[in-house]
Amino acid sequence: MMKKHGGVAAAAAAAGKVKAELEDVGKAAGGAGAAVVALSPLSETLWRDKAAAEFLGDVSARLAWRDLTVTVVLSTGDTQDVLQGLTGYAEPGTITALMGPSGSGKSTLLDALAGRLAANAFLDGTVLLNGRKANLSFGAAAYVTQDDNLIGTLTVRETISYSARLRLPDKMPMEEKRALVDGTIVEMGLQDCADTVVGNWHLRGISGGEKRRVSIALEILMRPRLLFLDEPTSGLDSASAFFVTQTLRGLARDGRTVIASIHQPSSEVFELFDRLYLLSGGRTVYFGQASEACEFFAQAGFPCPPMRNPSDHFLRCINADFDKVKATLKGSMKTRFERSDDPLDRIMTSEAIRSLITYYQHSQYYFTAQQKVNEMARVKGTVLDAGGSQASFGMQAFTLTKRSFINMSRDFGYYWLRLIIYIVVTVCIGTIYLNVGTRYSSILARGACASFVFGFVTFMSIGGFPSFVEDMKVFQRERLNGHYGVLAFVVSNTLSAMPFLILITFISGTLCYFMVRLHPGFVHYLFFVLCLYASVTVVESLMMAIASVIPNFLMGIIIGAGIQVTSIHPNCMPNLIHRSQPLFAVMQCSQTKIKF
Ligand SMILES: Nc1ncnc2c1ncn2[C@@H]1O[C@H](COP(=O)(O)OP(=O)(O)OP(=O)(O)O)[C@@H](O)[C@H]1O
């Protein structure tokens, strides 16, 4: 409790500092719309390095979209227009809120702008970044997703440091990287929990609000000019939501363009936004200054009643589900609605939505937005290249290997738990076949013992699947944001897992080998253990491949087990006879060459 309050207080202090700065900036810029703010010294250094130029031009991001339509192809083969003819813009120095009821298309709009639409979604219309057709995929813009996919065993500082090393140029001195990490920690108000682990199923870690701030910190590390956030405040209490949003506003005032989708913000949070994009059923209800939205609703005939949170009122006006709520009301509740002065209570919400959309399309707000987008399309600004990693492949592979090794060694469920189970299982098998020796009559017993050991040890690799799924989630987030590529991940995972797999197979293999008293001789022992290691490595790779395709614990384990049993597992009945033949042949040769 104390820690949480401490974190919030620190965030408040950091946010307070940012607020003081941004008030100055806001005054200088004369309002949100006009704010084009100079970069902070840190941002400037990074961007100068990136552009390899002494003098930097305007590197701010002006994003505009015109007549944006997104159509998805459903599994039935039908198509659905998720977004219909949206026009809007986002300027540097401002923070824009995308608001609307659930299913109105907020995430789809963010995805369309960030170039991350699903394979079955098709975009029509124009997205312009600095007046040029935008190509924002793989790291050109930072995108903070709804889920905090972080490595639970690392501390906040470690998480941000590894991310810095993965992306900052190799030639940047360590002290500078450390300063950047520390600066980001302070900027996000994470000082109090900097040395606390993020947390996972067995480690109690930081709070939900702190996790959100860590996710944002990872994305702002490279000082991107354009920042997308999908519901950055979901699941947070109102104080944490306020501090997160205030931090985002501070980031915007550093010259960045920030666009965030948001659900039902409190009035304090709502006031922090410069612009508001209201969506309902994939269509624009309102786009303009957040502070002018109340006036728009009043002009359209739906004034916000006194004592009601404006954002609640907007969402109440445009959420067609309220029609269903009204239809279920009975008795005095129904009468109260019918007698109410609120115009919204006297008409269907779907009617209110239609009227608001029509009103907006004929309003000054719409024409101003169109005009501004046309203006932004005419001015060709700096081409913002991919903002992904600037580190070399070697540095990425080294950092990922180290990070993954630390995670594996700290996560009890990754390998340690399996090691204990392997020891118990091999001791059990060892006691069953204790001292069977190398007699001719014990060939079958040795064959069965080898089948048991190989079968159990490889099959138990399924136990690592939940950890693989967590790894894949982190990888997918980092890859989509351009932190590193597939090859660096594969190389690092193979290298970091190697010591654990060697430990597991050597301990299990050694126990079994010497309890059963298989053929003496170091070469025979090594051959046995290396075969075990190779088998486990193959199954681990298989499970990792399944985790990348099916990121669901239950389905992945079922499919992994199915594949193993039918194609790898030596005890599988259809394969048993077929696979046993070479094994028994090997056993029979045991008197001469290869001996288990
Ligand atoms: N790739 C897709 N395939 C099928 N339907 C989709 C796809 N993307 C979006 N949709 C549909 O489009 C609608 C809008 O989805 P979206 O996730 O953008 O809404 P949202 O406003 O972000 O909702 P929430 O606030 O609940 O997250 C939903 O009905 C959703 O089912």
Give the integer Cα–Cα distance in Å for 297 and 228: 27
Residue with CA closest to ligand 1 atom 23? 103
What SS3 string covers 563-589? HHHHHHCCCCHHHHHHHHHHHHHHHHH
42 Cα–ligand 1 center, Å: 37
* Cα–Cα separations (whole angstroms), residue 536 to 17, 194, 476: 54, 37, 25
Longest dimension (CA), the chain: 99
Give the integer Cα–Cα distance in Å for 253 and 269: 16
Structural domain spans, the chain? 2-62+90-378, 393-591
pLDDT(208) > 60: yes
Give the integer Cα–Cα distance in Å for 447 and 68: 66
Band of pLDDT at residue 7, cut at 50, 70 and 90: very low
Atom of ligand 1 nearest to the CA of 119: 1
Span 503-523, average pLDDT? 89
Contacts of 557 (CB under 8 A, 6+ apart): 462, 465
pLDDT, tens digit (0-9, with 9 covering 90-100), for 286-295: 999 999 999 9
CATH of 2-62+90-378, picked from 3.50.50.60, 3.40.50.300, 3.60.20.10, 3.40.50.10860, is 3.40.50.300
Give the integer Cα–Cα distance in Å for 398 and 224: 24
3-state class of 139 per DSSP?
A: coil
* Residue 338 near residue 364, CB atoms below 8 Å: no
590 Cα–ligand 1 center, Å: 63
Q: Of 277-281, 346-350, 363-367, which range is least confident?
A: 346-350
pLDDT(34) > 70: no
Residue with CA closest to ligand 1 atom 30? 103
Mean of the per-residue pLDDT values for the chain?
80
Span 83-95, average pLDDT? 92
Span 337-348, average pLDDT? 66
- List phi, psi (to 5°) of 121: -110, 135
DSSP state of 190: -
> Mutation test of ligand 1: which of 76, 81, 108 has the most ligand atoms closer than 8 Å to its C-beta?
108
pLDDT, tens digit (0-9, with 9 covering 90-100), for 415-428: 998 899 989 989 99
| pLDDT for position 38 | 46
104 Cα–ligand 1 center, Å: 7
| pLDDT for position 58 | 61
E strand intervals along 267-342: 275-280, 283-289
Q: Of 60-64, 97-101, 122-126, 134-138, which range is least confident?
A: 134-138
Give the distance, in angstroms, between the CA of residue 85 and the centroid of all CA atoms in the same chain: 28
395 Cα–ligand 1 center, Å: 38
Reference 408, options 278, 309, 501, 508; nearest CA is: 501
| pLDDT for position 588 | 44
pLDDT, tens digit (0-9, with 9 covering 90-100), for 416-472: 988 999 899 899 988 998 888 778 888 888 888 888 888 888 888 888 888 888 889
pLDDT, tens digit (0-9, with 9 covering 90-100), for 241-297: 888 898 889 888 888 899 999 988 888 999 999 999 999 989 999 999 999 999 998
pTM of full prediction above 0.80: no
347 Cα–ligand 1 center, Å: 27
* Residue 304 near residue 376, CB atoms below 8 Å: no
| β-sheet bridge partners, residue 90 | 63
| pLDDT for position 348 | 78
| pLDDT for position 139 | 47
- Pairing mode, if any, of strands 79-90 and 257-261? unpaired
ipTM of the complex model:
0.96
566 Cα–ligand 1 center, Å: 38
Give the integer Cα–Cα distance in Å for 187 and 130: 27
pLDDT(205) > 90: no
Q: CA-CA-CA-CA torsion for 143, 144, 148, 149, nearest 10 degrees?
A: 10
Residue 372 identity: K
Atom of ligand 1 nearest to the CA of 111: 18
* Residue 81 near residue 71, CB atoms below 8 Å: yes
Give the integer Cα–Cα distance in Å for 452 and 426: 9
Give the integer Cα–Cα distance in Å for 144 and 232: 8
E strand intervals along 177-219: none
Report the share of the chain in percent with pLDDT over 70: 78
Please report where in the chains the tokens 């907020």 appear, as a residue.
106
| pLDDT for position 302 | 86
102 Cα–ligand 1 center, Å: 8
| pLDDT for position 1 | 36
| pLDDT for position 342 | 65
3-state class of 232 per DSSP?
A: coil
Q: How many CB atoms lie within 10 A of CB 578?
A: 10
* Residue 396 near residue 402, CB atoms below 8 Å: no
Q: How many CB atoms lie within 10 A of CB 255?
A: 23
Report the share of the chain in percent with pLDDT over 90: 29
Q: Which helix (H) or strand (E) holds 83?
A: strand 79-90
Kindly list the protein residues whose Cβ atom lies closer than 6 A to any atom of ligand 1. 72, 74, 82, 100, 102-108, 118, 120-121, 263
- List phi, psi (to 5°) of 194: -60, -35
| pLDDT for position 202 | 75
Residue with CA closest to ligand 1 atom 8? 108
* Residue 234 near residue 180, CB atoms below 8 Å: no
Residue with CA closest to ligand 1 atom 12? 82
b/e burial code for range 130-159 (CB count within 10 A of at least 16 → b): bbeebebebbbbbbbbeebbbbbbbbbbbb
Residue with CA closest to ligand 1 atom 18? 105
